[in-house]
Structure 1
Amino acid sequence: LINSGMAPMKTWFTREEEPPRNRVCTCQKCIRTGDIENIGKTDRHGTYFEMLGNFSFGDYFKKDAIPYCWEFLTKVVGLEEDRLYPSIYLDDDEAFEIWNKDIGIPAERIFRFGKEDNFWEHGAGPCGPCSEVYYDRGEEHGCGKPTCTVGCDCDRYIEVWNNVFSQFVNDGEGHYEEMKNKNIDTGMGLERLACVCQNVGSLFDVDTVMNITNKVSEITHAHYGESHKTDVSLRVITDHIRSSVMMICDGVLPSNEGRGYVLRRLLRRAARHGRLLGVEKPFLFDVVDTVVRENESAYPDLREKQGYITKVIRTEEENFAKTIDGGMRIYNDLLAAHKQRNETVFSGADAFKLYDTFGFPIDLTAEMVEEAGMTVDRDGFNQLMEEQRVRARKAREALGDLGWAGIEFGSEVPATEFAGYEQDRIPDAKVVAIVAEGEQVDEIVSGVEAAVVLDKTPFYAEMGGQTADHGVLLAGKMGFEVFDVQKNKGGKFLHSGRMTEGVLKVGDTVCAQIDPERRKAIRRAHSATHLLDAALKKVLGGHVHQAGSLVEPDRIRFDFTHFEAITPDQLSEIDRLVNDAILEGLPVVTEVLPIEEAKRKGAVAMFGEKYGDVVRVVEMGDFSMEFCGGTHLDNTAKAGPFRIKSEGSVASGVRRIEATVGKLTLETVNRNQQMLFHAAQMLKTSPAELEGRIEQQLAETKELRQALDKFKAEASLGEARNFLMSAKDVKGLKVLTAQRDGLDANALRKMGDFLRDKEPGVVGVMASVNDGKITFQAVCGKEAVARGVKAGDIIKAIAPVCGGKGGGKPDSAMGGGTDVLKLDDALAMVDDFVAGKLN
């Protein structure tokens, strides 16, 4: 999910950080969806591919990179020299000379392209001209035009290698500065290389990919080569299920934003193409085993997580199946409305409605609309999406965001040494950088908020879900209060806080002291989090993986993958297992081990996390063993009582438990106990007998309420009889109006029902004011209705006088209003309204 293989290495290119080696070779699983509408329609587009990269950080440059490239393609891979065509940047004469004179490629076989094709840059940062190598697959793959040559959009000439000569730094505003250390960034897609080497028609015909298509064909009964439309659907499903399996294996879950949305739209697009092939039920999960089998030799974790991957895909398919039918009905109605108006553009608002309500990705809607001969107003859709993003951004901003972790420093600022596992206090930490208001400064004074970088620190930076330490930096009369710590990707710890007194300068030596009580409370919570994770796996199953966590002092928020509600019995068992492990007093042992040794030992890695060659393993007896860089207790007994506060769903397939430990649990227990004693005291009983006393009180209250309701009903009916006696005669009908404030709608309805049933010729309108709002009730007896006087018409006539509305049936209707000052005017209209109807 990155735009290039070099993106994570930018700081090595610019030498802001020292690379681990000056020459690096990579293979990256990569997802790109920019050309998603071309998937299946061309031979070379796919959302998932393996990106091979070769990098030089200030080591070799053009004169070596181009010969290396040629040697690899012709001697190692064995591609025919007469089928390879290099391209260069328009004015890169140096690259031309190397290709022409050193390699021996004739000038007419070297193509010069402009900035759009042969100059690599992505925003600000390292960039430079490119030299690509194209492979001629033969006339049978071409477009047939006389002008068809390298650079044509058809599938004849495909790029198999790209040399990027990263020699400039772009400031983002079009200014280019030549780098002292020039770099090489070369790339090649494994699937494209396999396509060429296996001499097959497309990347979908490569053996490992075609085997997946064969499985899809087996399920759908649609076969490759039957028709172009069938081939497109088979290719889309094959490509998207490969991408989805890889993403889920790396910890991505379907959602409506970010990476999760990319995954969701791939799965839903694949499911929809399954329906085009006649498969109405979920089927993608049945293809997972084939995808795993074809890729597990390079990525063995696919097999380890196969059950989990299958469950995620099946759940997402089933969820989409519940909405797609309803969504398709709405889509067909919207499409028909556009067609009826002779429109050729499907509105952005309608496309957004399908996305927001039914989860239809925009490209899915665009694809369906295209099949109907229309286009989608993507600009309108994007505008609505941006408005939604702005609303979400404002909501996040309201929560506050320090953002210090984004600050970059040069190589003169060393990475911070973390000593907080063993020490709560370091007396001789050196200040190596200070940031105030987004800029590096040399000193700060009292009252200034800033971030301080130390050469070594006992402060734990927020990561892995564990909140940061708080504390102070002290030196003589200087004081700096630390309320947050973040670690940037260069390994610098940024201690954010406020100067309380004195002056702090870069180069000063300070005493860095964490808040030890806060650290203890965080240790209790973090250790209990490991126990909770283990308990969840024991009770719910091995498919449970951590999907996020927040570890605060004595407080835990733990998100995990699970696909159904947890029963009360399961929750009780999870609670019991954690507390048993605490009471057992299990020793907490921390070891630093090579990653393979840690895996053999049985340590559990956090799902989706990336680890180095050496990892930290936290073991709690035989109950839990996990990779973890956080701070922990030395014995589970010190966690104190564990208590689950809540459990619920936070996303499709993800649930959340919130819990407390230690002093926070004890405070809650004490507070609850005080409330219990207070409640017992108020009810003049003991805590042991409180439940029975409350049940008795509830029964007595229910009897009293029933008696009161009966009394009110009888009083209302008595009042209704009085209303009837005072009714006016309007041409043989008994018309009455009355206002009785404080009555609810139910009481008015009962009075009205009594009047209507008691007198066939009655026309009654009653009003009641409650909290400045008017409720109207109108009733008409059988005789009144027969003579054309209807309750609904009366309400429609008088309610607007009070700024309201209403309606109902001929014999009974209700309405409302807000202008109490106009109530008398509304009731005075009733006589005239009835007389008018009778006339």
Structure 2
Amino acid sequence: MKTAEIARRFLDYFEKNGHTIVPSASLVTDDPALLFTVAGMVPFIPYLSGDVPSPYPRAADNQKCIRTNDIEEVGKTPRHGTFFQMLGNWSFGDYFKEGAIRFAWTLLTSPEEEGGLAFDPADLWVTVYEEDDEAYGLWQSVAGVSEDRIQRLGKDTNYWSTGLPGPAGPCSEIFFDRGPAYGIDGGPATDDDRYVEIWNLVFMQYEITNVRSKYDFDIVGELPAKNIDTGMGLERVAFIKQGVDNMYETDQVRPVLDRAVALSGRTYGANHEDDVRFRVVADHVRSSLMLLSDGVTPSNDGRGYILRRLMRRAIRSMRLLGVDGPTFAELFTTSRDAMKEAYPVVETDWQRISQYALAEEETFLRTLAAGSTILDESVAQTKASGGTRIAGAEAFLLHDTYGFPIDLTLEIAEEAGLTVDRNAFDTLMQEQRARAKADAKARKRQLADTSVYRDLRAQGETVFTGYTDLETESSVLGLLVDGVSVDRATTGQIAEVILAETALYAESGGQVADKGVIVGPGYELEVLDVQKPVPGLVSHTVEVTTGEVGVGQAATTVVDAANRRAARQAHSATHLVHAALRDTLGKTATQAGSLNRAGYMRFDFAWGQALSDATKSEIEEISNNAVRDNLEVTTRVLALDEAKAAGAMALFGEKYGETVRMVDIGGPWSRELCAGTHVSTSSEVGLISLVGESSVGASNRRVEALVGLDAFRSLAAERALVSQLTSTLKTPREQLPARIAELQASLKAAEKKIAQFESRALADRLPALAGGATTVGTYRVVAESLGTAASADDVRSLALQVRDRLGSDAAVVALGAAVGDRPVVVVVTNEAARAAGAKAGVLAKAAATALGGGGGGRDDVAQGGGTDAAALPSALGAVKDALGAA
């Protein structure tokens, strides 16, 4: 039974049983505590917690998930995958334990011809929380499971909570017994790979507080509305139903594995280490494909870093399988073909997806080449010094700074007959992980407890009137101070105000929040920020500037009209620039993020190279032509599917409801899903002036523009600057570029002549320097400051010449100079000095320490530098001291 067929049967079954079928949410979650949708329940958290009323009493879905906390286990076990699909059925205060158990057991054990999955009950085991007698009894009475197939387990496996105050409850899991060939008897309690968990039923029935750990907390009482949260692992069910040993051999994953086998020329099943690598490739390529399809792009932080790590692990695994060249063109195409039936977007958006994948592979292959060069030098230096081990710090530098995998460092070192100080490397890695975990915990601690908004959200959604009105009368539904609900707030306090209606725009979709005030009888509030802490609820962060505000009082929101006008201009300008980019570059130049505020817009888009000046001018001209043409701006509220069918573009990672707001500028020329505020006609934008274009990742670019009066003021300032230059240089405006180029050429020629004079002056000092050599210990030493020098190369050249003049006796030359505003010390040694133990690299480090910097190099020539040029005499003295102590 194919994976897509299993999912279809699941959804059909629950739809027939009164469940609303909910589409999968994006892998990119808007939960600030998470980078990705890591579990099937993530999109339903507002409903499960009661923060937001559920729009349906029962639902079912097939949710895409990404989880990388067990990434090192991928390929080693039959069930660990970074991308997985979680089939779930949900009850929000509707049915509870009995219904959940009946639904699960019936679907699993019903014959295929009746739409079921046809599991033999004799192959299934059940676990329950050790104190949950109710569930234990229901498995017997409802499903007919015998006592010897039901096991009671503790909180660590059969109790669910988020680790934060809120809902929690016992859970019950269904396991499939793969048979004695896969492990010992004894049921799921043996924690063996023989028993594969395929379905988890969470009975969310308690409210917890005083959470000390995930399994240590106080139960406040039962929830007023008990919920059901279940998850059936689609990949796990698929590998069982398809009669294969693991998820990597299922129909959606195996084709990539087979393609990797063909590219490598090796055999799957012949070598355990190779098998793990093949599975890593198959899993990571599919995960990367799905992340790219949801708008994640490779980068060095956040979600983009996780994607980059997955892609680079796949490239590394192919290299360890003997393939050094590019493979993504074939591997990603194969994964696309395997996944397109379930997720058509991987085919319809293939051009953009493949562009990112191939660009990332090309970049990393260059990184590997560069890292190999650095590592080769480290190997050579280690061998030359008689060492047998590469320092852990060097291996970590390669990993952390250059993205060079430790596996390859170990492999190359082993080929050279060396080892790597793995303990030191691991220590540095642990320190880095500890910092990352501390940052994540801090971020989690900083999250507001959204339960405080629950009662307020239960009164209904905040009505936004700001599309048509700049003032709206309402009433104060709630007040929060420091996250705690209060009855009133007084002058000087910072508070959150919840209103029934508001004309103030809450930050979203790239548009920053409105400025304005909230006024009422005897009080005035300055609006500092407007946000949506939970879906559908608007919170105004305010400072009470006058009087006292209380719950239940009348309140009028007043929008700063000038700021809103400029913000509308910037947001509409963003849409115009997006359309111009697609006109100029093609349909793959899709939005990757934006920011617009009064007078300014920033737009990120998918593109792999810098834009030429001509292209930037063309984009600017198209955008301003659209302004000139006074295009009509219209908005419509319609069904999401209808909007997509009309060609409306959606922002990747943005959550959309069943109905959406579509904004057209000039009809279909610019058609996007957008909840922001806009001008009525394009001419109201006024003017768009592109002021910047830069890279924001391997395959993303950013354009920035000033809009309206801000654009005019910027151009006026440039005009004044040009006028000043024409006056100062006594040159007509059109001849300014040539005149400035002429002055630059003259300056460069003068600098070259000065450098030649300085070099000749240094060379003239050669006899005096050589003649002034002193004896330090057993060495003839020249340690002098040259004052200033044009370049470090000049200092090095002079030091080598002085050394040559000193003959065959052990000689060390250390010359210092200020190059620009930075001090430099060059140390050179001859063969006799090196034989006596003098190493230029060691001496240069000693000098650099005195200069407040760093240095090093070879034994014969080395260089140090720093920040304190006044310390050059001390630095040269440090060289002498080191030689005297030798």
Question: TM-score band (shorter)?
Answer: 0.7 to 0.9
Q: Secondary structure at the match of 2:359?
A: helix
Q: 1:13–1:126: 8 Å Cα contact kept in structure 2?
A: yes
Q: Secondary structure in 2 aligned to 1:169?
A: strand
- Specify the alignment match of 1:43 in structure 2: 78
Q: Deviations over 1:372-417 (max 9, x none)?
A: 99976756413234447879999x99xxx99879684122444311
- In the alignment, the residues of structure 1 paired with residue 604 and residue 636 of structure 2 have an alpha-carbon distance, to the nearest angstrom, of 26
Q: 1:237 to 1:553 in 2, by over 3 A?
A: same
Q: Is the 8 A contact 1:52 1:190 kept in 2?
A: yes
Q: Which residue is equivalent to 2:431? A: 383
CA positional deviation for 1:631: 1.0
> Does residue 717 of structure 2 align to residue 680 of structure 1?
no
Whole-Å Cα distance in 2 between the matches of residues 747 and 158 of structure 1?
67
The alignment's TM-score, normalised by the length of structure 2, stands at 0.77
Task: Report Cα offsets for 1:550-589 as digits up to 9, x if no partner.
Answer: 1011211111111122222222222222122222221111
- Asked if the contact 1:545–1:561 (Cα under 8 Å) also holds between the matched residues in 2, the reply is yes
Question: 2: CA distance between counterparts of 1:802 and 1:159?
Answer: 60
What's the CA shift for 1:492? 1.8
1:122 aligns with 2:165: no
Partner residue of 1:488? 533
Aligned match of 2:614:
569
2:103 to 68, 78, 89: 68
1:7 and 2:42 aligned: yes
CA displacement, residues 423-463 of structure 1 (integer Å, 9 cap, x when unaligned):
1111x121112222332222222222222221111111111
Of 170-179 and 77-86, the range deviating more from structure 2 = 170-179
- How far off is 1:271 after superposition? 1.3
Q: Which of 463, 469, 479 matches 1:423?
A: 469
State how 1:204-603 maps to structure 2 within 5 Å: 204-327=248-371, 349=393, 352-360=396-404, 378=426, 380-387=428-435, 408-413=452-457, 414=459, 415-426=461-472, 428-603=473-648
Contact 1:120 1:164 in 2 (8 A): yes
TM-superposed CA distance for 1:677, in Å, is 2.5
Provide the rounded CA distance (Å) in 1 between the counterparts of 2:746 and 2:63: 72
Confirm or deny: 8 A CA contact 2:476 2:499 kept in the other structure: yes
Of 46, 65, 77 in structure 1, the residue corresponding to residue 117 of structure 2 is 77
Give yes or no for contact 2:256–2:282 (8 Å, CA) kept in 1: yes
Asked if the contact 2:410–2:420 (Cα under 8 Å) also holds between the matched residues in 1, the reply is no
Distance 2:872 2:360 in 1: 56
Partners of 2:244 and 2:818 in 1: CA distance: 82
Pick the aligned partner of 1:56 from 91, 94, 109: 91
How far did 1:289 drift? 2.7
Matched position secondary structure for 1:175: strand
Which ranges of structure 1 fall in alignment gaps of 5 or more residues? Answer: 731-735, 780-791, 831-839
What letter is aligned with 2:218? Answer: H
> For the structure 1 residues 187 and 535, does the alpha-carbon distance in structure 2 shift closer, same or farther, using more than 3 Å as the test?
same
Structure 1's 230 and 356: CA in aligned 2 closer, same or farther, altered over 3 A?
Answer: closer
CA distance in 1, matches of 2:586, 2:872: 66
| Bigger mean CA offset, 692-701 vs 259-268 | 692-701
Measure the CA separation in 2 of the matches of 1:375 and 1:458.
60
- Give SS of 2:485's match: strand
Residues 57 and 182 in structure 1, CA contact (< 8 A), matched pair in contact too: yes
* 8 Å Cα contact 2:395/2:420 also seen in 1: no
CA distance in 1, matches of 2:873, 2:335: 73
> In the alignment, which residue of structure 2 is the partner of 1:156?
194
Instruction: Specify the code of the residue in structure 2 equivalent to 1:159.
Output: E
Contact 1:285 1:311 in 2 (8 A): no
- Post-superposition offset of 1:760: 13
Tell me whether 1:108 sits opposite 2:148 in the alignment.
yes
Alpha-carbon offset, residue 688 of structure 1: 5.7
Aligned-partner residue type, residue 297 of structure 1: E
The separation in 2 between residues aligned to 1:813 and 1:196, in whole angstroms, is 64
Letter in structure 1 aligned against 2:70: D
Letter in 1 for 2:107: F
State the alpha-carbon separation in 2 of the partners of residues 747 and 202 from structure 1: 61
Q: Per the alignment, do residues 334 and 424 of structure 1 end up closer, same or farther by CA in structure 2, a change over 3 Å counting? A: farther
Change (3 A) 1:682 1:569: closer
Contact 1:405 1:486 in 2 (8 A): no
Within the alignment, does 1:197 sit opposite 2:241 as a pair?
A: yes
- With the length of structure 1 as denominator, give the TM-score of the two structures: 0.81
Rg larger for: 1
How many residues align structurally?
A: 791
How far off is 1:663 after superposition? Answer: 0.5
Offset at residue 225 of structure 1 (A): 3.0
* 1:664 aligns to 2:710 (yes or no): yes
Is 1:175 matched with 2:218?
Answer: yes
Call closer, same or farther: CA 1:700–1:654 in 2, change over 3 Å. Answer: closer
1:136 alignment partner AA: D
CA contact (8 A) 2:848 2:855 kept: no
One-letter amino acid of the structure 2 residue matched with residue 484 of structure 1: D
> What's the counterpart of residue 658 of structure 2?
613
Letter in 2 for 1:559: D
> In structure 2, what is the Cα distance between the partners aligned to 1:93 and 1:205?
39
Deviation at 1:285, TM superposition (A): 3.1
Deviations 1:222-255 (A, max 9, x none): 3433333333222221111111111110111122
1:32 is the counterpart of 2:70: no
Matched-pair contact (CA < 8 Å) for 2:298–2:304 = yes
For residue 121 of structure 1, report the CA deviation from its aligned partner.
2.4
AA aligned to 2:259 is K
- Partners of 2:691 and 2:706 within 8 A in 1: yes
User: Runs of 5+ in structure 2 lacking a partner?
Assistant: 1-35, 111-115, 775-781, 808-812, 829-838, 881-886
Q: More relative contact order in 1 or in 2 (CA 8 Å, sep 6+)? A: 2
Are residues 79 and 429 of structure 1, via their aligned partners in 2, closer, same or farther at CA, if it must alter by over 3 Å? same
Contact kept in structure 1, 2:46 and 2:534, CA below 8 Å: no
Q: More displaced, 370-379 or 668-677?
A: 370-379
Once the two structures are TM-superposed, the CA of residue 341 in structure 1 deviates from its matched residue by: 9.2
Q: Percent identity?
A: 36
Cα distance per residue 1:449-481 (max 9 Å; x no partner): 222221111111111111111011122442211
User: Residue 65 of structure 2 contacts residue 86 of structure 2 at CA under 8 Å; is this kept in 1?
Assistant: yes
| Cα offset, 1:665, TM superposition | 0.9
- Give, in angstroms, the shift of residue 549 of structure 1: 1.1
Cα gap change, 1:350 to 1:98, in 2 (>3 Å)? farther
**CA contact under 8 A between 2:479 and 2:488: conserved in structure 1?**
yes
What do residues 763-787 of structure 1 show as CA deviations (whole Å, max 9, x unaligned)? x9999999999999999xxxxxxxx
Tell me what 1:89 maps to: 129
Amino acid in structure 2 at the alignment position of 1:127: A
**Distance (Å, rounded) in 2 between the aligned partners of 1:588 and 1:81:** 61
Counterparts of 1:106 and 1:802 in 2: how far apart (Å)?
76
In the aligned structure 1, how far is the partner of 2:743 from the partner of 2:170?
Answer: 84
Counterpart of 1:78 in 2: which secondary structure? coil
**Counterpart residue identity of residue 87, structure 1:** T
Name the CA shift for 1:109/1:402 in 2 (closer, same or farther; >3 Å).
Answer: closer
CA deviations on 1:165-194 (whole Å, 9 max, x unpaired) are 111223223112332322222211112222
Deviation at 1:347, TM superposition (A): 8.6
Change (3 A) 1:370 1:65: farther
Displacement of 1:283: 0.8
- Which letter does structure 2 place at the counterpart of 1:495? H
Structure 1 distance, partners of 2:245, 2:793, is 79
Instruction: Name the residue aligned to 1:165.
Output: 203
Secondary structure of the 2:511 match is coil
